Chain A
Amino acid sequence: MEQKTKQEILSVEELSVSFSMYQKGLRKGNLEVLHKLSLSVRAGEILAVAGSSGSGKSILAHAILGILPGNACMDGRMLYKGQPLTEKEKKGLRGREIAFIPQSVDYLDPLMRVGKQVRGVRGTKERQRELFRKYGLEEGVERKYPFMLSGGMARRVLIASALMEDACLIVADEPTPGLSERLTEETLKSFREMADAGCAVLLITHDIDLAFKAADRIAVFYAGTVVEIAPAEDFRKGKEALRHPYSRAFLEALPQNEFCPLPGFQPYAAKLPKGCLFAERCRERNEMCMGEIPMRKVRGGEVRCVHAR
């Protein structure tokens, strides 16, 4: 692919996010949930961020948009079209150049009719109706309140509201759960169309199946960091083409494959092991895994594992 020539829309470098929480009485502690995470999305590309629930995928999205809660603390750099992306910039860009499709249908205002919410301040009625038609939302839906919609309909409303303006970067946080297979495909197709028109799409999903259908590259998250970034083809090819044991376990757990769960759980952010975060569940673990594990390039992808060849 000739993506090397395309402009990097967003690049995240060594991003760490921590939350300060009260532990006992008035004593505060810091809980680091993202650790030194780096990734980038280019124009015309869909980058899928896949990983277990609770691995910090949504926090990454919120960090990019600058909507983390007040007790969050960020470290590292973010560049948008080569320029530093500061909190002030984010405020101006989000909703215009950076569009967000939130994960939960709770992000809709329960007291506003959905048509009005989707139009927002600058949108037009024509554009909103066009999008509603495209996503199979009937004429009357725009006059309904969020509680009157089914899960899948609310999801489509969220997608429509992100597409109201011409965005350069779309951050979609789990846009498809609850949608039927046909609508899922429709949604992915519109992401592809936007990418072809020069957008960068960051598709956050736990559904690896979806990721390798839709994306150009896939970044696999585990316990708050990226363990592998690989072309989506490698995931389609199967286990052997992948580099990290966690990515391979993902394929094994798919219902259409073995449906075989990897035992154990992701370490809790407050009790992270030293060295490799995945070591506890890894079959190839040895003393080499105890040190610092850097991201390195292996066979056209990047991986955070000392055993990968």
Chain B
Amino acid sequence: MQGDREKGLEARDVGFRYGKNGSWILKGVNLTVRPGERVGLTGPSGCGKSTLAKILAGYESPLEGEVLYDGSPLPEKGYCPVQMIYQNPEQAVNPRWKMEGILCEGWTPDAELLRDMGIEREWLKRWPAELSGGELQRFLIARVLGPETKFLICDEISTMLDVITQAQVWETLLRAADRQRLGMLVVTHSTALAKRVCTRIVSLQEINQS
């Protein structure tokens, strides 16, 4: 392996199941994402892709194994360097917050980014329920591109976008990724998309021993 600084985000022998007697969804999973690398994660529906994504982002703790960021566990306080964008944007926002609060919770995006993402000024005053899924998703992408973000976990982030918006969003996202040397884990069902945006593609079924 390369030097310590370049360790990146690492899942080491991760195992996970829901409930005490549930079947193991993940077992002995090893995966490393290095800075600047974009790893595509594929696999059939229900095989644990989203669960692994949540574990890597620190939203679930693995029952076995550990998640390491630059060789140590994820920080429990402050801005988490690993940020996640979800599959269903309507479930990832507080319905009682206005969009402005949602957008600026972690950092304040500049006007240029908002323009690139196609976010209308007027939308900032709306409630989440008043935006379409695609519009909402653009907010959720903009809110995680803060300067302290080092890794992005993208769980099917563009399936609810139309292809033109998808291409626009990925263009912006890839530009930000290059500028900030982000490491990315891209969960997707679309092989065509994975080939376009990822530097390597991993099948979860091949690395999962459950």
Stretch at the interface among A52-60, A74-82, A232-240: A52-60
30 A-B pairs in the complex with CB atoms less than 8 angstroms apart = A51-B162, A53-B134, A53-B160, A54-B132, A54-B134, A104-B88, A104-B133, A150-B46, A151-B45, A151-B50, A151-B88, A153-B46, A177-B159, A178-B87, A178-B159, A178-B189, A179-B189, A180-B43, A180-B45, A182-B44, A206-B134, A206-B163, A207-B162, A209-B163, A250-B163, A254-B192, A255-B166, A255-B192, A259-B170, A260-B167
Find the residue from A55, A105, A181, A265 having the highest chain B CB count within 10 A.
A265
Q: Which of B91, B132, B135, B160 is A177 in contact with, Cβ under 8 Å?
A: B160
Are A262 and B50 in contact, with the CB atoms below 8 A? Answer: no
| CB-CB contacts below 8 Å: B38-73 with A | 43-46, 50
Closest chain B CB from A8 CB (angstroms): 28
Look across to chain A and name the residue whose beta carbon is closest to the beta carbon of B197: A255
Determine the chain B residues whose CB is within 8 A of the CB of A206 once the complex forms. 134, 160-163
Kindly provide the distance from the CB of B49 to the nearest chain A CB, expressed in whole angstroms.
Answer: 8
- Contact mask for chain A residues 50-72; partner B; CB cutoff 8 A; 1 contact, 0 none: 11111100100000000000000
Query: Is B13 in the interface zone, CB < 8 Å from A?
Result: no
Give 8 closest A-B pairs by Cβ, nearest first. A53-B134, A152-B45, A206-B162, A261-B167, A177-B159, A54-B132, A255-B192, A256-B192
Known: A106-B90, A259-B170. 15 other contacts (CB 8 A): A53-B133, A150-B50, A153-B45, A153-B46, A177-B87, A179-B45, A180-B44, A180-B189, A183-B45, A184-B189, A208-B162, A209-B163, A255-B193, A255-B196, A259-B196
- Return the CB mask of B92-135 against A: 1 if under 8 Å, else 0: 00000000000000000000000000101010000000011111
Size bracket, chain A contacts: 35 or more
Structural contact, B156 and A177, CB atoms closer than 8 A: yes
Nearest CB of A to B157, in Å: 11
Asked whether A181 and B50 contact (CB < 8 A) given A106-B90, A174-B160, A261-B171, the answer is: no
**Which B residue sits closest to A183, measured CB to CB?**
B45
Whether A103 contacts B133 in the complex (CB less than 8 A), given A150-B50, A151-B50, A259-B167, comes out as yes
Q: Given A174-B160, A253-B163, A268-B122, do A181 and B88 touch, yes or no (CB 8 Å)? A: no
Contact-residue bracket for chain B: 35 or more
Please provide the chain A residues from 182 to 209 with a CB less than 8 Å away from any CB of chain B in the complex: 182-184, 206-209
Q: Are A53 and B165 CB-contacts (below 8 A) given A104-B90, A206-B134? A: yes
Q: Within 8 Å of chain A (Cβ to Cβ): is B200?
A: no
Asked whether, in the complex, the Cβ of B164 is within 8 Å of the Cβ of A250, the reply is yes
By the criterion CB–CB under 8 Å, are A52 and B118 in contact? Answer: no
B interface residues (Cβ-Cβ under 8 A, vs A): 18, 43-46, 50, 87-88, 90-91, 118, 120, 122, 131-135, 137, 156, 159-168, 170-171, 189-193, 195-196
Given known contacts A106-B91, A181-B189, A206-B134, A254 and B163 CB-to-CB distance under 8 angstroms:
yes
Interface presence of A293 (CB below 8 A): no
Output the nearest chain B residue to A256 by Cβ-Cβ distance: B192
- Which of chain B's residues has its CB closest to A265's CB? B118
| Contact in complex: A270, B122 (CB < 8 Å) | yes
Q: Most chain-B Cβ atoms within 10 A of its Cβ — which of A255, A261, A270?
A: A255
Give CA–CA (A207, B162) in the complex, Å: 6
Q: Give B50 Cβ to nearest chain A Cβ, in Å.
A: 6
Chain A proximity of B42: nearest CB distance (Å): 9
Residues in chain A near residue B87, CB distance under 8 A: 151, 177-178
Q: Is the CB of A52 within 8 A of B189?
A: no
- Contact yes or no, A253 B50, CB < 8 A: no
B156 lies within 8 A of A178 (CB):
yes
A105 near B163: Cβ-Cβ < 8 Å: no
Closest Cβ of chain A: how far from B21's Cβ, in Å? 12
> What is the CB-to-nearest-CB distance from B60 to chain A, in angstroms, rounded to a whole number?
13
Given contacts A54-B134, A182-B44, contact A105 B118 (CB under 8 A): no
A255 neighbours in B (Cβ, 8 Å):
163, 166-167, 190, 192-193, 195-196
- Interfacial residues of chain A within 127-162, with CB under 8 A of chain B in the complex: 148, 150-153, 155-156
* A249 contacts the other chain (CB 8 A): yes
Residue in B closest to A184 when the chains form the complex, CB atoms: B189
